[in-house]
Amino acid sequence: MENGTKKVWHFQAAANGAANGNGNGKARSKAAVATIREVRFALMDNLNKEDQRPLIELGHGDPSSFPCFRTDSAAEDAIVDAVRSGKFNSYGPSAGILPARRAIAGYLNNGLPYELSPEDVFMTLGCAHAIEVTLTTLARPGSNILLPRPGYPYYDACAANRNLEVRHYGLLSDHGWEVDLEAVESLTDHNTAAIVIVNPGNPCGNVYSYEHLKKIAETARKLGILVIADEVYGHLAFGSNPFVAMGVFGSIAPVITLGSISKRWIVPGWRLGWLVISDPNNVLRNSGFVDLIRGSLNTSPDPPTFIQVSDDTLK
Ligand SMILES: Cc1ncc(COP(=O)(O)O)c(C=O)c1O
């Protein structure tokens, strides 16, 4: 109260916009609730404290919490050397420093029928940031994106935050959680920008075969959409299918490969990821998409410079 009248502030939380008919606010508050963290914290808060049975947190994708999982000493040494050198204390380029981009391109080149260059690699603050940047560049009025169900809810949350419509396609539980390609075709229209696949999959653990990945690429080509391949669990493949990078099929349909060192190197706290243009026909470059990615990175925090990823580190 000021001078007997109620003080009016001329701002409001975005979520309150919903009450005023502003759809953005509603979508944002829904997005926050949809994240896996919110659900996990709610479950942990509601545990029966009297129950003495040990708890295995299956929703916690961070092996580094268990002392038996430790990253390779080559990775630790690389960080220590880089920090001690004093050469990496300044701001770096938003796309990442060249030696790291070169090392990531070299690492991902393994098994590709064409060669990635450092120019195709954009370093990000973990794979989560790569997801954010990708969805930011896809969001334009009316556009939509295809996401797997079951899926990794961060995609839904990021899409909601950017007013990007989400359409869910099913994963076929009796076919190794393969993509229901018929559903993908029926969901797609001329506003569909991309399909997201997570391979190896979270939460289903699928590892797609070469043939299935090729079919996904052919479907994307037929529909005129790009493939966003979340390979944050790349090479963490159990079972009979070896891991095949979606980038192998980049000449059929343009692929954006997202990844990080979080899982395979057991260091999610280091926040180092990448967004890679796996598109030998330059469809994304020619359509201005790569410039949009660069622009989006220019307006977000720079990736760490002290992680001077070397070819030796990424083994
Ligand atoms: C499918 C998927 N993508 C992306 C991420 C985020 O990875 P990062 O920790 O590198 O941001 C996770 C983390 O659990 C994930 O499961």
Quick count: other Cβ atoms within 10 Å of Cβ 195? 26
Judge whether 120 lies within some domain. yes
Q: How far is CA 164 from CA 38, 89, 308, in A?
A: 21, 37, 35
Q: Is the Cα torsion angle 31, 35, 37, 42 positive or negative in sign?
A: positive
Judge whether 314 lies within some domain. no
The answer, yes or no, to whether any atom of ligand 1 lies below 6 A from the CB of 194, is no
Which distant-in-sequence residues (6+ apart) come within 8 Å of 186 by Cβ? none
Q: Is the Cα torsion angle 104, 105, 106, 109 positive or negative in sign?
A: positive
CA 263 to ligand 1 center in whole angstroms: 8
Q: What pTM does this model have?
A: 0.88
Minimum-distance ligand 1 atom for the alpha carbon of 271: 10
Mutate to test the pocket of ligand 1, among 134, 262, 267 (most ligand atoms within 8 A of CB): 262
Minimum-distance ligand 1 atom for the alpha carbon of 273: 10
**Which structural domain, as residue segments, surrounds residue 161?**
73-298
Rounded Cα gap, residues 309 and 242, in angstroms: 25
pLDDT of the chain, 315 residues: tens digit per residue: 566 788 888 887 655 444 444 455 566 666 666 666 777 788 888 999 899 988 877 767 788 888 899 999 999 999 999 999 999 999 889 999 999 999 999 999 999 999 999 999 999 999 999 999 999 999 999 999 999 999 999 999 999 999 999 999 999 999 999 999 999 999 999 999 999 999 999 999 999 999 999 999 999 999 999 999 999 999 999 889 999 999 999 999 999 999 999 999 999 999 999 999 999 999 999 999 999 999 999 887 777 776 655 555 565
The answer, yes or no, to whether any atom of ligand 1 lies below 6 A from the CB of 268, is yes
The answer, yes or no, to whether any atom of ligand 1 lies below 6 A from the CB of 61, is yes
The answer, yes or no, to whether any atom of ligand 1 lies below 6 A from the CB of 203, is no
Judge whether 8 lies within some domain. no
Judge whether 204 lies within some domain. yes
User: Residue 162 belongs to a domain with what CATH number?
Assistant: 3.40.640.10
Q: How many domains are contained in the chain? A: 1
Q: Tokens for 29, please give them.
A: 């508050």
Judge whether 20 lies within some domain. no
Helical spans, DSSP H, in 124-193? 126-138, 154-161, 181-187
Judge whether 175 lies within some domain. yes
CA 60 to ligand 1 center in whole angstroms: 11
Judge whether 22 lies within some domain. no
The answer, yes or no, to whether any atom of ligand 1 lies below 6 A from the CB of 262, is yes
The answer, yes or no, to whether any atom of ligand 1 lies below 6 A from the CB of 198, is yes
The answer, yes or no, to whether any atom of ligand 1 lies below 6 A from the CB of 151, is no
Judge whether 139 lies within some domain. yes
Minimum-distance ligand 1 atom for the alpha carbon of 260: 10
Return the HEC string of 245-314: CHHHHCCCCCEEEEEECCCCCCCHHHCCEEEEEECCCCHHHHCCHHHHHHHHHHCCCCCCCCCCCCCCCC
Residue nearest to atom 7 of ligand 1 (CA): 127
